Homo-oligomer: A and B are copies of this chain.
Amino acid sequence: MAKRVSHRDSMCGVARPLDAIGDWWSLLIVRDAFDGLRRFGEFQKSLGLAKNILSARLRNLLAHGIMETVPAADGSAYQEYVLTEKGRGLFPLLVALRQWGEDFFFEPDEAHVLLVDRKNGLPVRRLELRAQDGRVVGAEDTMVRLPQASHENGSA
């Protein structure tokens, strides 16, 4: 399941998560789970993927602790798939993905679903990254710093 690690034994903070959710379907499953879907058949109908693939993806999400199975919900003997805390931690990422999609994958006049505040129905704000002092910072205002190495710089 895990892709081979790229020439380094320990993966960086970006690559490591990608091992868990770095395929087309996993994030869509997680999104559907945020939307309240819980049953195997619900995911399959919503996403339209082959059952063996869904099975494999769910197994992978379970193995990574992103989802878990819970005994029932409507009393039946079936099980349901729900997000763990780790899985719910993906919410900002999904929002970022959605906002990027809205910005660049839809025509200006093209209708698309909107993420809205449940309290008042207003669209949510744009995700913003802020520095400690509260400034909104973009990519050009940030850099990555290596753990504790005395090396000068690097990706990873």
Give A residues with C-beta under 8 Å from B.
3, 6-8, 12-20, 22-24, 27-28, 31-32, 34-35, 37, 46-49, 65, 86, 88-106, 111-125, 127-133, 135, 137-148, 155-156
From B47, B91, B93, B138, contact of A138 by CB (8 A): B91
Is the pair B99, A92 in contact by a Cβ cutoff of 8 Å? Answer: yes
Does the CB pair A92–B145 fall under 8 Å?
no
Q: Which residue of B lies closest to A147 (CB)?
A: B111
Specify which chain B residues have a CB less than 8 angstroms from the CB of A124 in the assembled complex: 129-132, 137, 142
This chain: copies in complex:
2
Cβ contact within 8 Å between B123 and A132: yes
Residues on B with C-beta less than 8 A from A96 are: 92-93, 95-96, 127
Residues in B neighbouring A105, C-beta threshold 8 A: 13, 16-17, 20
User: What are 22 of the A-B contact pairs (CB < 8 Å)?
Assistant: A6-B49, A13-B98, A13-B102, A13-B105, A13-B106, A14-B94, A16-B106, A17-B97, A18-B24, A23-B24, A34-B139, A35-B144, A86-B104, A92-B127, A112-B147, A113-B145, A115-B142, A118-B142, A119-B141, A122-B132, A124-B132, A124-B142
CB distance from A135 to the nearest CB of B (A): 8
